[in-house]
Structure 1
Amino acid sequence: MKEKFEHLKEIIKEKDSLMIAFSGGIDSSLVAKIAHDVLNEKALAVTLTSDTFSKRELENAKKIAKEIGVHHVIVKSSELGNEAFVKNPENRCYYCKKEEAIVLKRIANENRIKYIADGVNLSDFDEHRPGIKALDEEDVIHPLVEAGVKKSDIKVMAKFLGLSNYDMPSTTCLASR
Structure 2
Amino acid sequence: MNIEKLVDKLRKQIMEKESVVVAFSGGVDSSVVTKLAYDALGEKALAVTVDSPLLPHGELVDAKKIAKKIGIKHVILKLNELKLQDFVKNPPNRCYICKKFRFKMIKKMAVEKGFKILMDGTNIDDTYEYRPGLLALKEENVYSPLLENGLGKNLTRKIAKYLKLPVYSKPSNSCL
TM over 0.5: yes
Unmatched runs of 5 consecutive residues or more in structure 2? none
Partner deviation per Cα, 1:26-72 (whole Å, 9 max, x = no partner): 10000000110110000000001110002300000001100111110
Cα RMSD between the aligned structures?
A: 1.0
Q: Contact conserved, 1:4 with 1:148, CA < 8 A, in 2?
A: no
Secondary structure at the aligned position of 2:127 is classed as helix
Deviation of the 1:6 alpha carbon: 2.9
What does residue 40 of structure 1 align with? 42
2:64 matched to which residue of 1? 62
The residue type equivalent to 1:116 in the other structure is: L
SS at match of 1:45: strand
- What's 1:86 paired with? 88
Residue number among 9, 12, 27 corresponding to 2:11 in the alignment: 9
Query: What's the CA shift for 1:5?
Result: 2.7
Range with bigger deviation, 4-13 or 164-173: 4-13
- Which runs of at least 4 in structure 1 moved beyond 6 Å after TM superposition? none
Identity across aligned pairs (percent)? 49
Deviations 1:97-134 (A, max 9, x none): 00001101111111100000000000101111110101
User: What's 1:169 paired with?
Assistant: 171
Aligned amino acid, residue 44 of structure 1: L
Q: What TM-score comes out, normalization by structure 2 length?
A: 0.95
Contact 1:12 1:35 in 2 (8 A): yes
Stretches of structure 1 lacking an aligned partner (at least 5 in a row)? none
Instruction: Check the 8 A contact 1:26/1:168 in 2, yes or no.
Output: yes
Task: Name the aligned partner's letter for residue 144 of structure 1.
Answer: L
